[in-house]
Structure 1
Amino acid sequence: MKKFSTIASIFAVSLPLISTGAFAAGGQATTAQAQAVASKTKCEFLAEAPDKHVVVKGDTLWGISSMFLKNPWCWPVVWGMNQEDIKNPHWIYPGQIVYFDRVNGRLRLGNPGGVPTVKWNPKSRVQGLGENAIPAIPASVIEPFLSQPLILEDNDLAVAPRIIATKEGRVNLGLNEQAYVRGELDGSTSFQVFRPGVPLRDPVTKAIIAYEAVYLGTVKLEREGNDESDVHTFSVVRSKQEMAVGDRLMPIPPSPILNYVPHPPKEDVDARIVSVYGGVGSAGQNQIVSINRGKNDGLNIGTVLTLYNYGRVIQDKTDANKSVKLPDEPIGDLFIFRVFNNVSYGLIMQVKDIVKVGDSAKSPR
């Protein structure tokens, strides 16, 4: 997991750690009893859920929970977490044991040999101290998308600093080459470079709701413009694609925190898939899609939606060829990890069919 220097406040929480011996009685309970507890929160356990799982490197909280739960995104509930207070999940490390407490309808964490209770008191710490801990979701899949590509809903790039010339008049810029830039830097020295990309159209209204800018790489300031010239000199420090005159600069955002607490949206959401990243028409597990809902619709980081194949409209030949829309069929889960005003990026989690542009993403039922 990537190291971070962001200081975060950790709120008080008691997390019971149950040893193997402590479950001698609890193991006698039936899955039905656990279902009765979990059903109150709509977080049902699988009938074939195991009694325990030993955490190994490469596990995620979502993946572990999928061994026990019908809806893996319910893990904050069955772990007894307070979503409002705990902004980042507790750390779980390889070698620890996850137990299924069938009596209380909970998952609990234990160490070999058993530790009765651990209590976290309010304090500050540096994110990243638990670099060997397992992440909530496959962080490596979404990490490149946390800062790029960029959704443009307003005219953001129109006023951004821009490349106006290249050294020796080169058409394109590559690694370590210099670019001449005009525009307000506002104190920043490191920038990402973007090129306005394809428009994103709402599958329902067909209106353009945003633009997805193409990420080209990063540049750093070598020499700032002065009173005699307002041209800044930059050098290319990372190149994903060649840069050219007219490309725009945006300050590099701060490093994000990669642990998220999944949760259903507070308000009912009925979204549609706008695009599959990469310009293709369909996607599968661990691929990135955008949807036509965002902050203005109550979505935030960690929101989980159910994916549906959108029911096509057919002609009912048994009833005077009337048009009939077939039901939407649930096929998996979408984990929202980056949110703009009217558009969001989501990671496709477990899925049993391909996801297509125009398919639905709705509040879990």
Structure 2
Amino acid sequence: MHKFTISLLLASLISLSSYADELRLQDNAPTRYTVVKGDTLWDISGRFLKDPWKWPQIWRMNKAEIKNPHWIYPGDVVVLDRSGAHPRLSLIKSASGHTVKLSPRIRGTAIDDTGIPPIPASAINAFISQPFVMEKGALDKAPRVLSAEEDRMELGAGDHAYATNDNTNTTNWKILRPGKALIDPDSKEVLGYEVEYLGEARTVVPGDPQRVLITAASQEIEANDRLKSADENYSFRYVPHAPSQPVNGKVISAYGGLAEAGQYATVVINKGARDGMEEGDVLAVYRNGGKADGITLPDSRSGLIMVYRVFDKVSYALVMQTTRPVNLLDFVRNP
């Protein structure tokens, strides 16, 4: 019985120690913080925690709440409670003054909602509605640009053009171009094909062919570029969190064809839904240590990324923190 009690006590101490290691408060963590416009969940979490992606733990969120979170709004007060065995957060709503003990109340759904987003909306607003990755030939049957109204070879914002139609009554279009193949650096498997976003168009004279006005252009538009409905909305509902399974992947592309990426740049990793990746997963990025004088050097951690869009075989992530640029073929692992 005495041995059992000692074993139980040791197990409890180990458990508490493990929890303390997992959930580290900032040295100057405030007792209360009033949320202001422009805050993000990542920012607020970083005020209380040294590891911002552990936000769900201090809120005691379950997996369903991580995937479909409640919202915090400007004016709400986040309160740090240290009275129990473990620290936890609660929320005082600005309107009613009611304290929510487990998590913020549910309100809002979209990226343009007034609720506090998980990461800076401005950092990915230009990317989230774009299809990014498709299977080979996915755009083959999509409507296509035929020619400019004035027979010009290249088009830009303000130009009119003729295009085929798909009889879906769509009037707002994204203009796209099939891009490069994304290839796994280890298995050499083709993981999908990037799609270049060229701009936006609006139908001004329906029909087949239809007449469209190019309302925005990020680069020159040509005949045979494809049209896809721009009416799709992308929800921004998730909470930064550690992956629920081990991850060992690589950065295989950076948005815009860059060789390296800094804070708030978008990168592509070779892990997707089939590997268990989810929106909100936070990963650490490591640079290969290489060798010196024949000695293998340890990999060095260079930053954190957070997944914000998941496809079957790849995911898009935002560089959240970095001590140096994130490079192609850098490793991504659990934080």
Superposition TM-score, scaled by structure 1 size: 0.76
- Give CA deviations for 1:53-103 in whole Å, capped at 9, x if unaligned: 333332211111112212201112211223314644333233433222123
The 8 Å contact of residues 38 and 105 in structure 1, kept in 2 or not, is answered as no
Is structure 2 residue 50 aligned with structure 1 residue 64?
no
Residue 54 of structure 1 contacts residue 94 of structure 1 at CA under 8 Å; is this kept in 2? yes
- How far 1:215 sits from its partner (Å)? 1.0
Mapped contact 2:56–2:66 kept (Cα < 8 A): no
For the residue of structure 2 that corresponds to 1:214, the secondary structure is strand
Is residue 2:200 matched to residue 1:200? no
Shift of 1:327: 2.3
1:358 counterpart (322, 329, 333): 329
Whole-angstrom CA distance in 1 between matches of 2:162 and 2:277: 39
Deviation at 1:355, TM superposition (A): 1.1
Q: 1:148 aligns with which of 116, 130, 147?
A: 130
Contact 2:199 2:218 in 1 (8 A): yes
Report the CA distance shift for 1:111/1:190 in structure 2 as closer, same or farther (over 3 A): closer
SS at match of 1:347: strand
Deviation of the 1:356 alpha carbon: 0.9
Map Cα deviations across residues 214-241 of structure 1 (whole Å, 9 max, x no partner). 211112233443xxxx423222222222
Measured in 1, the distance between the counterparts of 2:101 and 2:89 equals 17
Q: Pick from 94, 101, 110 the counterpart of residue 74 of structure 2.
A: 94
The structure 1 residue matched to 2:232, chosen from 233, 245, 254, is: 254
Please list the CA deviations of residues 170-219 of structure 1 after superposition, one character each: whole Å capped at 9, or x if unmatched: 11222343222235343433221112233333333455433322211112
Provide the alpha-carbon RMSD of the alignment.
Answer: 3.2
Hey, what does 2:310 align to over in structure 1? 339
- Tell me the distance in 2 between the aligned counterparts of 1:36 and 1:47: 19
Partner residue, 2:10: none
Task: Among all aligned residue pairs of Structure 1 and Structure 2, give the percentage whose two residues are the same amino acid.
Answer: 39
* Aligned equivalents of 1:160, 1:287: Cα separation in 2: 29
- TM-score, normalised by the number of residues in structure 2: 0.82
Query: 1:298 deviation in Å?
Result: 1.3
Q: Which residue in the other structure is 1:74 paired with? A: 54
Alpha-carbon distance in structure 2 between the residues aligned to 1:126 and 1:48: 31
Q: Which amino acid aligns with 1:264?
A: A
Secondary structure (helix, strand or coil) at the match of 1:191 reads strand
Structure 1 261/112 Cα, relative in aligned 2: closer, same or farther at 3 Å? closer
Which of 289, 296, 303 pairs up with 2:267?
289
Partner of 2:7: none
1:171 is the counterpart of 2:153? yes
Preserved CA contact (<8 Å) 2:56 2:62: yes
Partner Cα separation in structure 2 for residue 169 and residue 337 of structure 1: 40
User: 191, 209, 212: which is aligned to 2:173?
Assistant: 191
Q: Is the Cα–Cα contact under 8 Å of residues 90 and 100 in structure 2 kept in the other structure?
A: no
Does residue 46 of structure 1 match 2:46? Answer: no
Q: Quote the offset at 1:114 in angstroms.
A: 9.3
Deviation by residue 1:108-156 (Cα, 9 ceiling, x = unmatched): 2236899353599xx9976469944322211111121111262233321
Flag the 1:242–1:142 CA change in 2: closer, same or farther, 3 A: same
Tell me if structure 2 keeps the 8 A contact 1:287–1:347. Answer: yes
What is the CA–CA distance in structure 1 between the aligned matches of 2:88 and 2:100, rounded to whole Å? 17
